[in-house]
Every structure is written in C-alpha cells, then in structure tokens.
C-alpha cells in the first residue's frame, strides 16, 4: 500500500511539473522571426538589374569591394519600410554605405517611394521573384544585413530599424571593419 | 442624399483599397501557379512543396499558401526540379538558408532525438510494468 502511495505522489509530481512547464512556455512571448542560416557565410552570387534609373544596379561583386556595407531588403509596398526610412537616413549620415534590394517592385513605384521617403541607397537591385531574398535566408521586408568587405554576411536585422537600434547597427558595421 | 451615396461608395470601395497596402502589384513568378509540363517532375515538386513551410504564413506549406513569397518559393522548387535537381537537394538548399524551420519533414538530429526515443522508452516501461503485474496475478 505504501509503495502505491509513493508511486501516486511521483505521478502527481510529474503532472505538476508538466503543467508548470506548459504554463511557463505559454506565457513566454513567441519569437516569430525566422533567422537566416547564412550569417558568417559569403553572400551567394547574384546579379540584379537596376530598380530605378537614379541608381546603378546591384551584383554580389559590388558587395565584396573591400568596404563593409548595409544591405537593405525593402519594397515600396511595404509599410514598415517607410517607417524605417528616417533611421536609414541617419545611418547614411553616420557614414554607412547602404545598398538596397527592392522586392517584387515596379520602377515607378520605387521612384515614388524614394521621392517620398528619401534615398539613402548607393545602389538598388530589383528582385522580381524574391530569388536573392530567398538565397540570403531573408523571410520578409524590411530586413537589413551587415556585409563585410569580403562579402561575408556578419549580421541580420529583422524588421524595421527603430531609432534605438541605429547604434547597434553602427556597432555591427564597425565590427565588420568599417 | 448625395453625401450618403458618396459615403456608401467609399465604404464599398474600402475592401478594394486596403489590400494595396502591404502587398505588391507584380504578377506571380512564372512557376508560382503553373505546373511543370512533365507530370512526373510536377509530382516530385508537389511532394516536396507540401513539406516546406511558408515563411510568411508560418503554419501553412508553400503548396497551400497564396502569399507572394510562397509563390516565389514554389517557382524556385519547380525550376530547380525541372533543371534536374533532386527534391532532397532542393530541401537542403532551403535548410541551408533558413535552418530546419523551413522543412516539415521530421529528421533525427542532436536536438530532436528525444522525440523519437521517448515513445520507445514509454512503450518499454509500460510493457515491463504490465508483464510484472500479469506475473504477480498468477
């Protein structure tokens, strides 16, 4: 009888532990971000046509010219991309070279977007079928990658850059050798 | 009256206007909605696509989703299969970009082995307990 009772208490203990675990996990905020598995690796080869007449096109060779850069994945139809425009402008003022990839976008829409929210980009490539985005392991717009001078991806920022995150991006850019 | 009509028109037009925000206007990638001409290759692509996660709509497969990005992923899968790549090579390509998260196919790894081991252990323990009881009853 005593043996049975100890066994029962062990069961109660296990059940309580499981419920505690569920309660803890359910109360934790869910991380919706899908991180790229490409960090630390070289940027895959690509050669995109220009997204706008006002800036040159973008290829992977442009990202391995010895100077670290920010690679911003954006789109004119993306609302948070407009929200991060002031932060991109601030990064450019701080000396960052920013190149852009416009996802599924039309030239006139890109022009209108840049005219409205500013153009911090040195180059902009257009990716009509998200091919470069997929090869980078990026799962949405906007995203910003830090690329070192050798064309290696060193950091990924998912979502729009908030004002308080500008310093982190600059620090990552500095670590990449800027 | 005229104002009411204008307001009504505006309300009716609203559902048409809202999707423009946050959605692109480009046509889908060529092989997003078009099947491959070779039924055998299309079947291969389809079998793979139902086991790949849509990254924008995280509980669907790319075969189930109408998100533009899922269409672009289907285009990648179909063009790579059509070019002669094996489905598992295409899966490996995506996993090397997004990690295991992108694949629904269960696989054994240093972090997933308990999922496979625990049921076996539970069955063994249960079998052992039942066997002991049966013997005790006799």
Question: A36 and B98: CB-CB below 8 Å?
Answer: yes
Please check whether residues A90 and A119 belong to one and the same domain.
Answer: yes
Q: Could you give the C-alpha distances from A123 to A82, A84, A120, A126, in angstroms and in order?
A: 18, 18, 9, 10
**Domain carrying residue A26:** 1-30
Residue A137 located in a structural domain: yes
Question: Both A21 and A51 in a single domain?
Answer: no
Q: With 70 as the cut, is the pLDDT of residue A171 above it?
A: yes
State whether A4 and A55 are in the same domain.
no
* CA–CA dist B86, B47 (Å, integer): 12
Query: Between B24, B72, B101, which is nearest A105 by CB?
Result: B24
Query: Searching chain A, which residue's CA lies closest to the CA of residue B69?
Result: A130
Mean pLDDT of B122-136: 94
- B68 interaction partners in chain A (CB closer than 8 Å): 104, 130
CATH no. for residue A86? 3.40.30.10
In a domain, A41, yes or no: no
- Are residues A57 and A125 in contact, defined by beta-carbon separation less than 8 angstroms? yes
pLDDT score, position B136: 86
Question: DSSP code of B36?
Answer: P
Name the pTM for this structure. 0.82
Q: Which helix (H) or strand (E) is B45 found in, with range?
A: helix B39-49
- Residue A25 inside a domain? The answer is yes
Q: Where are the domains of chain B?
A: 28-105, 106-138
Q: How many domains does chain A have?
A: 2
Same domain, A14 and A95: no
| Predicted ipTM of the assembly | 0.85
- The answer to whether A77 contacts B56, with C-beta atoms less than 8 Å apart, is no
Per-residue confidence (pLDDT) for residue B2, from 0 to 100? 66
Give yes or no: residues A100 and A127 share one domain.
yes
Given a cut of 70, whether residue A173 has pLDDT beyond it is yes
Q: What pLDDT digit, counting tens, does each position of B25-42 carry?
A: 888 999 999 999 999 999
Q: In degrees, to the nearest 5, what angle opens at C-alpha A35 toward C-alphas A19 and A128?
A: 135
Model pLDDT, residue B17 = 47
φ, ψ dihedrals at B117, nearest 5°: -80, -40
Q: Are B29 and B75 spatial neighbours (Cβ–Cβ below 8 Å)? A: yes
For domain B28-105, the question of CATH label 1.20.210.10 is answered with no
Q: What 8-state DSSP symbol labels residue A28?
A: S
């Amino acid at each position: 009888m005593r043996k049975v009772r100890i066994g029962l208490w062990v069961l109660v203990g296990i059940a309580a532990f499981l419920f505690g675990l569920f309660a803890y996990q359910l109360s934790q905020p869910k991380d919706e971000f899908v991180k790229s598995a490409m960090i630390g690796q070289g940027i895959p080869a690509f050669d995109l046509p220009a997204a706008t007449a006002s800036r040159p096109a973008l290829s992977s060779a442009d990202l391995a010219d010895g100077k670290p850069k920010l690679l911003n994945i954006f789109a004119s139809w993306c609302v948070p991309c407009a929200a991060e425009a002031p932060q991109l402008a601030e990064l450019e003022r701080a000396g960052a070279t920013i190149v852009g990839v416009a996802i599924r976008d039309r030239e006139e829409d890109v022009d209108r977007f840049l005219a409205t929210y500013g153009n911090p980009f040195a180059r902009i490539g257009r990716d009509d079928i998200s091919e470069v985005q997929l090869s980078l392991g990026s799962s949405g717009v906007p995203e910003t990658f830090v690329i070192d001078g050798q064309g290696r991806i060193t950091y990924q920022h998912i979502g729009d850059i908030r004002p308080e995150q500008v310093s982190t991006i600059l620090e990552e850019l500095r670590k990449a050798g800027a | 009256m005229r104002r009411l009509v204008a307001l009504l028109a505006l309300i009716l037009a609203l559902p048409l206007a809202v999707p423009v925000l946050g959605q692109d206007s480009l046509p889908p990638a060529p092989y997003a909605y078009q099947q491959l001409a070779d039924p055998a290759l299309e079947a291969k692509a389809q079998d793979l696509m139902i086991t790949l996660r849509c990254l924008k709509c995280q509980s669907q497969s790319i075969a189930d989703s109408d998100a533009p990005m899922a269409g672009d992923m289907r285009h990648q899968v179909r063009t790579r299969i059509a070019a002669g790549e094996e489905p598992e090579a295409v899966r490996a390509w995506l996993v090397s970009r997004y990690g295991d998260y992108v694949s629904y196919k269960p696989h054994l790894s240093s972090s997933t082995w308990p999922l496979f081991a625990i049921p076996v252990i539970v069955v063994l323990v249960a079998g052992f307990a039942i066997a002991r009881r049966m013997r005790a009853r006799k």
